[in-house]
């Protein structure tokens, strides 16, 4: 499987995503933000960082880059797109995912390990995560508080688009487990078509036991499993 | 445009003495122009010239088999770490700017040190910081002062976070201390480490006659005018007001682009020399590159991109606008440079040429505004042997005894107090604001004795033809480095020589606890005004101790920074020679953390419980004396370097043998604090500590180490800071073997107790105290957040 890892000016988790995906034995290549095509990529990862310095608003400038037009077309055709951290912010800004990410309730940047409950196991990003398995994956963001109006949240729930929620070690979705004030403890969601997802935690930093957790691999493995099934079909 | 006439008053305003002015005229053979006066003033500031410290710095060990680029040669030293790989690292201060504007002051400090590293051709992969502030807790009568200290602390931390997080390097370790001496003059020392292959070392030299000189990065503005000169004078309310414009504004986004573009450019081989425009901006970068190459350089200022209209040559030359680089390019390869800068959408301009005249010629619209021999100004700055006199306060310090001090009657409360003391308390309030995991290399995150980073292939700069791709490179051997930064300023104040030895020894001990062998040091000498004989004595004695200790641990000093004039109107800071030390861990299985692992493990103390030769039993200058008795006095613990070396080597041998499950250094707060930290410092995730108790019996071992001629005082036993001690754990099965091995290796290993339960239980001298690990953790983990709420 071939992953395209987008590179915006000041993407800074591009190398981490490339590393994590290659660890799983997949191919991964960088795609520059000025590119107008994704080549023969089977999936797209929009990595974390501070694209274009995050001036104006996180992800607000990146959405206008040429490569995002290509990502839009790729997503429209059903291709798998995963946005991590700043990548999630870009997908929301680009309208590929609903809602917005605003400043953490603490008004401070937060970098720490968090626990995630997988709220829907039937998405291309979650299908390889065992039921009841609580993921431990780090966050690192200043603007990761997921926000949307009530109808949007209701729609997310109706269509089972909430993929991951912040929880405690036992899997309980609690106030104390929420690191940034996200509504409904939302850590990650997908679109209605379920082929575009974003999350604030970094699976790319949780792909080796040496670094404390390999839980993040499950998310990339889910994408690969889905892609292999689609190709076989 | 008319320039001010050169008067004695103007010369004095530029911080130059009449003698220095005479020397300047002798070099030029005529009176200087206004622009030239400005150039000399910044080049001969302490910050750039080390004119007050150079004779002292020469005493540091700077050579060694692994030193590829030594101290003072270039922007940062470089050490070989084997397999064709090398590391570049350095620490630098941004104290005065941070006192005036904490957020930008700290942010640009990070920016500056990152630039020093990629200028060497290395990819920056991690940062550390060492911070000092005035107290943030205390009596409500002092609320205004405390609030100001908190404002500075919060601002500095968010500045470091902003720049490092956005640039995308983990701020992986650090230290924060609080003491009244830093009130009004906080310390902000930042460290960066980069990685490269041996053949990728870049030089800051203007080589090759006729080679064009490029300017890369954002336009030059009036910000940061003469910041280097500002850093080289006492900090007063008036100077801070006046110098607010000397604080620059940082743009980490721009820096990230400049870094990536420069590394990509270096891979092409088109670069003849490269230098960042840091302190003293265009001035320093042009004359230093020419001086290093023995060439001359000629630049035209009207070609320099400018942000403000009508900037004078003086302003353009002295501006410290951030994120700018000077790049000397091989003639005929200009197009490659332009292609790469354009790819990264970076402003660039060709501003001059390398000449063979040995002179730095600065023109403005064709008119010569400065014409100075490059080598003399860069290398022949005045050097001073300052007068030194032992400070009067030391007599009182040495006379201090424990005679009038009642022994502790309530160790239970004392330990809780110490754990919540901001200098000892967990620094999670700080490091959770730093991205400490980006780049997928953080094996041991902040919170253990030393941080550990894994270097993999993508830590290296791009190779030729590989472009920004690192995937095509041949396999690179993974490396593991341990990093720590340490200095107990109180010890150094109480005994500059002994205290400085302790700073180096503690750094080396922290690395040993993580399983690492130290390879090098970068130091940041934060001291007061060198014109004051007592303060200069502190500096001289401190350097003597540092040099001796660095020799003992075979850690060459690869570079660093001197920050003098650290004083507010209330007086000088405690002398603070910050030591950043880097070590190599041979194999990943040697990586060791400080927290207790499993119930049933046996706890051993390596080293003496109390130093029998220290009449204060390790309480001199201790946290205990400061927190429980409000006294900052007494001779600090003795530091026998041989004893330290033996301990560290023994510890590493035990770790290599595979029997050591945890290792934690005993320092601030003594044995009781160290034991508590072993129980409570393992954080699994947000709101999820892994707490584990222990049952300890001090003095039950019968090995004789605890039983000094007289039983030691309880406070010395529990809270004394005797040097050369490490707490380790092993399985019960391994414990006898480890004790025997330790003995062979020349270190006493005393069995203190067993890991397990939900309490820390401590028995000594027939008494027992108990603390719930939940309460210990609560006091320690939340102390800073509570102070800052």
What's the pLDDT tens digit per position in B232-246?
667 666 666 666 566
In this predicted structure, what is the pLDDT of residue B49?
A: 85
List, for residues A72-82, the tens digit of each pLDDT value: 999 999 999 99
Contacts of A113 in chain B (CB under 8 A): 683-686, 688
Main-chain dihedrals φ then ψ at residue A180, nearest 5 degrees: -140, 0
Q: Which helix (H) or strand (E) holds A3?
A: strand A2-7
In this predicted structure, what is the pLDDT of residue B465?
A: 66
pLDDT tier for residue B707 given thresholds of 50, 70 and 90: very low
User: Inter-chain contact B685–A55, Cβ cutoff 8 Å?
Assistant: no
Residue B597, in any domain of the structure: yes
Lowest mean pLDDT among B12-16, B418-422, B490-494: B12-16
CB of B440 within 8 Å of a chain A CB? The answer is yes
Alpha-carbon dihedral sign for residues B590, B596, B600, B606: positive
Are B295 and B206 a contacting pair, CB within 8 Å? Answer: yes
Comparison of pLDDT for B205 and B238, the residue scoring more: B205
In this predicted structure, what is the pLDDT of residue B242?
A: 61
pLDDT for residue B226 is more than 70:
no
Assign residue A188 the CATH number of its domain: 3.40.50.880
Domain match, B628 and B681 both: yes
pLDDT for residue A51 is more than 90:
no
Which residue of A15, A20, A177 is in closest CB contact with B687?
A177
pLDDT, average across residues B358-369: 96
Q: Containing domain of residue A17, as a range?
A: 2-232
Tally of domains within chain B: 3
pLDDT, average across residues B543-572: 95
Assign residue B678 the CATH number of its domain: 3.90.650.10
Domain match, B670 and B647 both: yes
DSSP, residue by residue, B270-285? -EEEEEE--TTHHHHH
pLDDT tier for residue B249 given thresholds of 50, 70 and 90: confident
Distance from CA of B183 to the nearest CA of A (A): 25
Contacts of A115 in chain B (CB under 8 A): 685-686, 688
Residue B12, in any domain of the structure: yes
pLDDT, average across residues A4-15: 95
Distance from CA of A96 to the nearest CA of B (A): 24
Domain match, B242 and B369 both: yes
- Give the residue numbers of B marked as catalytic: 47, 94
Are A13 and A48 a contacting pair, CB within 8 Å? Answer: yes
Domain match, B258 and B336 both: yes
Comparison of pLDDT for B247 and B765, the residue scoring more: B765
Domain match, B606 and B720 both: yes
pLDDT tier for residue B705 given thresholds of 50, 70 and 90: very low
Distance from CA of A233 to the nearest CA of B (A): 32
Residues 159-198 on B with a CB inside 8 Å of A are 161, 165-168
Interface predicted TM-score of the whole assembly (ipTM), two decimals:
0.97
Residue tagged 């493995």 (tokens): A221
Q: Are strands B576-585 and B571-572 parallel, antiparallel or unpaired?
A: unpaired
Tell me if residue B610 falls in helix, strand or coil. coil
pLDDT for residue B231 is more than 70:
no
Contacts of B256 in chain A (CB under 8 A): 9-10, 12, 50
Domain match, B622 and B660 both: yes
Cα separation, B164 vs A142, whole angstroms: 13
pLDDT for residue B468 is more than 50:
no
Domain match, B662 and B528 both: no
In this predicted structure, what is the pLDDT of residue B702?
A: 40
Nearest residue on chain A to B789, alpha-carbon basis = A106
In this predicted structure, what is the pLDDT of residue B700?
A: 47
In this predicted structure, what is the pLDDT of residue B593?
A: 98
Domain match, B366 and B482 both: no
CB of A109 within 8 Å of a chain B CB? The answer is yes
Which residue of B468, B683, B687 is in closest CB contact with A176?
B687
CA B259 centroid distance within chain: 22
Mean pLDDT across chain B? 93
Q: Which residues contact B66 (CB under 8 A, 6 or more apart)?
A: B79, B80, B81, B519, B520, B556
Nearest residue on chain B to A204, alpha-carbon basis = B440
Nearest residue on chain B to A9, alpha-carbon basis = B257
Domain match, B31 and B82 both: no
pLDDT for residue B347 is more than 60:
yes
pLDDT, average across residues A1-22: 96
pLDDT, average across residues B301-328: 93
Cα separation, A78 vs A70, whole angstroms: 13
CB of B431 within 8 Å of a chain A CB? The answer is yes
pLDDT tier for residue B482 given thresholds of 50, 70 and 90: very high
Domain match, B580 and B650 both: no
pLDDT tier for residue B378 given thresholds of 50, 70 and 90: confident
Cα separation, B69 vs B76, whole angstroms: 8
User: Inter-chain contact A109–B435, Cβ cutoff 8 Å?
Assistant: yes
Are B161 and B171 a contacting pair, CB within 8 Å? Answer: yes
In the 8-state DSSP scheme, what is residue B670?
Answer: H
Tally of domains within chain A: 1
Which residue of B436, B441, B687 is in closest CB contact with A111?
B436
Distance from CA of B457 to the nearest CA of A (A): 10
pLDDT, average across residues B175-203: 97
In this predicted structure, what is the pLDDT of residue B592?
A: 98
Q: Which helix (H) or strand (E) holds B376?
A: helix B374-379
pLDDT for residue B469 is more than 70:
no
Domain match, B549 and B645 both: no
Main-chain dihedrals φ then ψ at residue B175, nearest 5 degrees: -150, 150
Domain match, B86 and B168 both: yes
Residue B433, in any domain of the structure: no
Q: Containing domain of residue B156, as a range?
A: 63-201+440-588
List, for residues B46-98, the tens digit of each pLDDT value: 888 889 899 999 999 999 999 999 998 899 999 999 999 999 999 999 999 99
Contacts of B439 in chain A (CB under 8 A): 12, 15-16
User: Inter-chain contact A211–B440, Cβ cutoff 8 Å?
Assistant: yes
Burial of B110 (C-beta count, 10 Å sphere; 0-12/13-18/19+): buried
Nearest residue on chain B to A180, alpha-carbon basis = B686
Say what percent of chain B tops pLDDT 70: 94
pLDDT for residue B152 is more than 50:
yes
Residue B428, in any domain of the structure: no
pLDDT, average across residues B498-519: 98
Residue B435, in any domain of the structure: no
Distance from CA of B439 to the nearest CA of A (A): 6
Cα separation, B63 vs B69, whole angstroms: 9
CA B56 centroid distance within chain: 19
pLDDT, average across residues A165-183: 98
Which of B588, B621, B651 is the last residue before a domain boundary?
B588
Contacts of A16 in chain B (CB under 8 A): 438-440
Which candidate in A103, A174, A210 is best for mutational testing of the B interface (most B CBs within 10 A)? A210
pLDDT, average across residues B584-588: 97
User: Inter-chain contact B433–A110, Cβ cutoff 8 Å?
Assistant: yes
Which residue of B166, B345, B458 is in closest CB contact with A19?
B458
pLDDT tier for residue A57 given thresholds of 50, 70 and 90: confident
In this predicted structure, what is the pLDDT of residue A55?
A: 80
Minimal CA–CA distance to B771: which of B667, B672, B682, B687?
A: B672
């Amino acid at each position: 499987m071939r992953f395209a890892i987008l590179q915006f000016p000041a993407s800074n988790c591009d190398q981490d995503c490339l590393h994590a995906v290659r660890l799983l034995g997949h191919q991964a290549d960088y795609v520059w933000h000025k590119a107008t095509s994704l080549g023969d990529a089977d999936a797209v990862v929009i990595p974390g960082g501070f694209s274009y310095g995050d001036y104006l608003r996180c992800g607000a400038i990146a959405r206008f880059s040429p490569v995002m037009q290509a990502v839009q077309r790729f997503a429209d055709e059903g291709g798998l797109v995963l946005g991590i951290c700043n990548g999630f912010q870009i997908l929301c800004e680009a309208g590929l995912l609903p809602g917005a990410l605003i400043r953490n309730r603490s008004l401070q940047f937060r970098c720490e390990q968090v626990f995630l409950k997988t709220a829907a196991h039937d998405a291309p990003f979650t299908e390889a995560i065992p039921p009841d398995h609580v993921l431990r994956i780090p966050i690192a963001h200043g603007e990761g508080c997921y926000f949307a109006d009530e109808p949007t949240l209701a729609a997310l729930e109706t269509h089972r688009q909430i993929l991951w929620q912040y929880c405690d070690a036992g899997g309980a979705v609690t106030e104390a487990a929420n690191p940034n004030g996200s509504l409904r403890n939302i850590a990650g969601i997908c679109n209605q078509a379920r082929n575009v997802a974003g999350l604030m935690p970094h699976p790319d930093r949780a792909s080796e036991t040496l670094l404390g957790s390999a839980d993040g691999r499950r998310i990339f493995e889910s994408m690969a499993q889905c892609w292999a099934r689609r190709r076989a079909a | 445009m008319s320039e001010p006439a050169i008067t004695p008053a103007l010369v004095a305003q530029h911080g130059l003495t009449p003698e220095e002015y005479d020397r300047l005229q002798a070099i030029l053979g005529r009176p200087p122009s206004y622009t030239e006066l400005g150039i000399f003033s910044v080049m001969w500031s302490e910050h750039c010239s080390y004119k007050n410290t150079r004779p002292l710095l020469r005493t540091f060990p700077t050579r060694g088999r692994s030193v590829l680029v030594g101290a003072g040669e270039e922007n940062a030293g470089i050490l070989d770490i084997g397999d064709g790989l090398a590391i570049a690292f350095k620490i630098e201060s941004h104290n005065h700017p941070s006192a005036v504007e904490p957020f930008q002051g700290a942010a640009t400090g990070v920016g500056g040190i990152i630039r020093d590293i990629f200028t060497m051709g290395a990819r920056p992969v991690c940062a550390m910081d060492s911070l000092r502030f005035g107290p943030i807790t205390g009596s409500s009568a002092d609320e205004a002062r405390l609030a100001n200290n908190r404002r500075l602390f919060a601002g500095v931390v968010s500045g470091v976070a902003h720049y490092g997080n956005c640039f995308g390097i983990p701020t992986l370790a650090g230290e924060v201390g609080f003491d009244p001496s830093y009130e009004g003059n906080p310390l902000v020392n930042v460290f960066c480490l980069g990685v490269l292959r041996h053949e990728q070392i870049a030089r800051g030299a203007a080589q090759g006659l006729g080679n064009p000189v490029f300017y890369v990065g954002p336009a030059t503005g009036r910000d940061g005018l003469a910041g280097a000169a500002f850093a080289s004078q006492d900090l007063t309310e008036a100077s801070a007001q006046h110098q607010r414009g000397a604080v620059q504004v940082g743009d980490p986004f721009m820096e990230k682009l400049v870094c990536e573009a420069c590394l990509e450019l270096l891979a092409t081989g088109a670069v003849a020399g490269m230098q960042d425009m840091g302190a003293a901006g265009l001035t320093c970068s042009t004359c230093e590159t020419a001086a290093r190459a023995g060439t001359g350089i000629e630049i035209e200022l009207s070609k320099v991109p400018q942000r403000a209209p009508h900037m004078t040559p003086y302003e353009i030359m002295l501006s410290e606008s951030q994120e700018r680089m000077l790049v000397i390019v091989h003639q005929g390869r200009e197009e490659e440079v332009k292609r790469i800068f354009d790819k990264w959408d970076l402003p660039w301009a060709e501003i001059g040429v390398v000449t063979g005249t040995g002179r730095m010629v600065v023109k403005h619209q064709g008119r010569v505004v400065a014409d100075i021999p490059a080598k003399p100004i860069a290398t022949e700055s005045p050097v001073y042997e300052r007068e030194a006199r032992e400070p009067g306060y030391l007599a009182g310090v040495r006379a201090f005894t424990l005679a009038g001090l009642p022994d502790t009657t309530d160790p239970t409360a004392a330990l809780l107090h110490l754990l919540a003391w901001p200098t000892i308390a967990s620094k999670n309030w700080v490091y959770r604001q730093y991205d400490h995991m980006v780049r997928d290399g953080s094996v041991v995150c902040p919170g253990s004795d030393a941080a550990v980073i894994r270097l993999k292939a993508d830590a290296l700069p791009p190779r030729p033809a590989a472009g920004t791709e690192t995937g095509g490179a041949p396999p690179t051997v993974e490396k593991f480095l341990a990093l720590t930064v340490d200095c107990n300023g109180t010890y150094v104040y109480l005994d500059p020589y002994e205290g400085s030895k302790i700073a180096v020894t503690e750094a080396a001990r922290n690395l040993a606890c993580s399983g690492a062998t130290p390879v090098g040091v970068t130091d940041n000498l934060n001291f007061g005004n060198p014109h004051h004989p007592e303060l200069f004595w502190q500096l001289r004695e401190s350097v003597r101790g540092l040099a001796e200790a660095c020799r003992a641990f075979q850690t060459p000093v690869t570079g660093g920074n001197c920050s003098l004039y650290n004083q507010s109107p209330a007086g000088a800071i405690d002398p603070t020679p910050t030591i950043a030390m880097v070590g190599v861990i041979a194999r990943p299985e040697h990586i060791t953390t400080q927290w207790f692992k499993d119930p049933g493990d046996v706890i051993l103390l390596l080293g003496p419980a109390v130093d029998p030769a220290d009449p204060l039993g390790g309480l001199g200058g201790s946290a205990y004396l400061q927190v429980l008795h409000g006294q900052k006095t007494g001779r600090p613990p003795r530091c026998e370097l041989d004893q330290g070396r033996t301990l560290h080597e023994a510890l590493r041998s035990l770790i290599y043998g595979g029997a050591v499950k945890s290792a934690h250094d005993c320092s601030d707060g003594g044995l009781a604090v160290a034991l508590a930290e072993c129980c409570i410092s393992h954080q699994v995730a947000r709101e999820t500590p892994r707490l584990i108790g222990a049952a300890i019996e001090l003095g039950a071992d019968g090995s004789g180490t605890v039983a000094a001629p007289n039983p030691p005082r309880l406070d010395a036993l529990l809270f004394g800071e005797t040097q050369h001690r490490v707490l380790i754990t092993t399985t019960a099965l391994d414990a006898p073997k480890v004790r025997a091995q330790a003995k062979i290796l020349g270190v006493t290993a005393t069995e203190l107790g067993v890991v397990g339960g939900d309490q820390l239980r401590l028995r000594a001298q027939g008494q027992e105290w108990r603390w719930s690990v939940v309460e210990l953790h609560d006091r320690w983990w939340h102390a800073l957040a509570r102070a800052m709420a």
